[in-house]
Copies of this chain bind each other. A is one copy, B any other.
């Protein structure tokens, strides 16, 4: 199975892209809603959670892991890659590739959680690919709660977006990376507020495309993935918002299964 995890429901945008791109493979999703959100927590805590989530997915039979959470990817992807024997994919590198390819001016904006922005991972990866690029980052900690509340069309959401995007607009970026898997759900509000000439990048499809390419090139991994049964969606807590967002993302009701046990409590 293809294992996908996130702190909560944002990573479902990535799961959906993988399901659409690779419909013949079974996926197992885990959303850590009992400890969500990760974005304002410390590195140490986020790493511990990412490790436990990976162990859970491997125990379900995952043969590849997709970290569908920018916060976890930004602080834990190297550690997970080192500690676990399976291929680990994350949402940052594909978005960086797309952004560097898309930008003509080299001025690239990045929005994400506090932890993602603090990690400096986008700057590092973008300027690693092209030292001419200039990166402007902005932490947007209220966007995740606004998405989880379903405030997609509220005036306050638009005002808060304008406030967060203002410093990036001032830097005349031509490309904006949505550095959090919740943000594609706000894309329709972000595009007009950052400017219609700015290319807005989300990583979901790029992650799916990268994974498809990897499986073509690595037949022994491909052969280990199951084609039978249903896709599974686990969460560590069932919250009121979760089912609504799952339905919104997948366009159909999703059967969320709550796992229990000491680790996730």
Interface presence of A141 (CB below 8 A): yes
| Number of copies of this kind of chain in the complex | 2
The contact of A237 among B45, B141, B160, B239, by CB within 8 Å, is B45
Once the chains bind, are B40 and A241 in contact (CB under 8 Å)?
yes
A35 is contacted by which of B34, B40, B146, B238 (Cβ under 8 Å)? B34
A223 at the interface (CB under 8 A from B): no
In whole Å, how far is A109's beta carbon from the nearest beta carbon of chain B?
20
The verdict on A155 contacting B159 (CB below 8 Å), with A41-B34, A42-B238, A237-B41 known, is yes
Partner pick for A40 among B141, B155, B239, B265, CB 8 A cutoff: B239
- Could you say which residues of chain B place their CB within 8 Å of the CB of A145? 141-142, 145
A148: which B residues are within 8 A, CB to CB? 40
Q: Cβ of A233 < 8 Å from any Cβ of B?
A: no
B156–A40 touching, CB < 8 Å: no
- Chain B proximity mask over A251-263: 1 for CB below 8 Å, otherwise 0: 0000000100011
A89 at the interface (CB under 8 A from B): no
B contact residues around A149 at 8 Å (CB): 141-142
A163 at the A/B interface (Cβ < 8 Å)? yes
Q: Mark A109-130, 1 if CB is under 8 A from B, else 0.
A: 0000010000000000000000
A49 located at the interface, meaning its Cβ lies under 8 Å from any Cβ of chain B in the complex? yes
Decide yes or no: A41 and B142 within 8 Å by CB, A48-B265, A156-B159, A159-B159 being known contacts: no
Chain A to chain B: the 10 pairs with minimum beta-carbon distance, closest first: A145-B145, A45-B237, A48-B265, A34-B45, A35-B35, A156-B156, A42-B237, A156-B159, A41-B237, A40-B239
